[in-house]
Amino acid sequence: MNRAGLAYAVGAYVLWGFLPVYFIALAPSGPIEIVAWRILLSLVFCALLLSVTRTWRPFIALLRDRRVVLTMGLAGVLIFINWQTYVYATVTDQVVEAALGYFINPIVTVFLGVIVLRERLNAVQWTAVGISILAVVVLAFGYGQLPWIALVLAFSFGFYGLIKKRVGPRVDAVSGLTLETVWLAPLAGAQLVFVAMTSGLTMGTAGAGHTTLLLLAGAITAIPLLLFAAASRRLPLIQMGFIQYFAPFIQFLVGVFVLHEPMPFERWIGFALVWVALVVLTFDAVRSARASRRVVDDVAELT
């Protein structure tokens, strides 16, 4: 196993797992202001990275590709929806439901593969999808409504991942985030104007510690993405698949044991069903990886 890749992957997902603690520490900032600063400061941080790594030329070359620019604009819209929903969930004590969204996300990704890419699922994968749908029904019954935060997070990030897959290796992590935040910068500016005209901006008004934390939003957004990109180049997809559950599991623990969010019986049942579906998907992925490896080994022996 590539130790550096493992360290990068664990670092990325652990940082994402503790992200709710960071957003809660930004009180009294509201979700609209937090996301706006997150976009603008991420853009600044990415621009600094492009300067330090001297990669402005490849980035400018990307700007000449109209299809890539428009695609990253769509990706930006999806990540904006994801960020806004996630921060709203965090600051309104709904971290457990946000964690559910990222537990559901791998299953949504499989589902999108069927609907959008016309991929075919085997019986085991259909079983996992069926169990996850049952979990949503159970959770909806327990909540008295659909767990919309979890579903918005799962589907927005699922479509975001689909778009990033379409772009492929042509756009690296820093260039991609830079393009996305360039598209979102006018919206972020409008959000700050709205907050300033209504409740008032908190940047610089809630103490030096709060201001410092808010100014770190760009780095805290970009660093896990860079670690994730570095890990993806070094680790097989199956290993990345296992490690991705670190983030929602940590978020779940934060919501239940740190923030003491309620976990009625129906919610435990719903989460248990989601975890069963993930076990089924993981089993199928491991089985497929082993089968592929055997085929490669057999071909190598024949040659």
Tokens standing for 34? 């937090």
Between CA 99 and CA 67 the distance in angstroms is: 33
Between CA 153 and CA 19 the distance in angstroms is: 15
Chain segment 224-263, per-residue pLDDT in tens: 888 887 887 777 655 666 677 888 989 999 999 999 998 8
pLDDT band for 104, please (50, 70, 90 cuts): confident
Residue-range definition of the domain harbouring residue 270: 3-302
User: pTM for this structure?
Assistant: 0.87
> What pLDDT shows up at residue 85?
97
Residue with tokens 């990275």, as numbered in its chain: 49
Query: Residues 106-133: what's their mean pLDDT?
Result: 81
CB-CB contact of 154 with 278 (8 Å)? no
> What pLDDT shows up at residue 303?
52
Burial of 33 (0-12, 13-18, 19+ CB in 10 A): buried
- Give yes or no for residue 301 having a pLDDT over 60: no
Measure the CA dihedral 75/77/45/54, to 10°: 40
Q: Please name the helix (run of DSSP H) or strand (run of DSSP E) that holds residue 235, with its range, or none.
A: none
Beta strands in the chain (DSSP E): none
- In total, how many domains does the chain have? 1
Tokens standing for 253? 């623990």
Tokens standing for 73? 């604009």
Q: Which residues contact 288 (CB under 8 A, 6 or more apart)?
A: none
Task: Identify the DSSP state of 254.
Answer: I
The total number of residues shown for the chain amounts to 303
- Give yes or no for residue 297 having a pLDDT over 70: no
Residue with tokens 């990307």, as numbered in its chain: 62
Burial of 161 (0-12, 13-18, 19+ CB in 10 A): middle
Q: Residue 105: which of 39, 40, 149 has the closest Cα?
A: 149
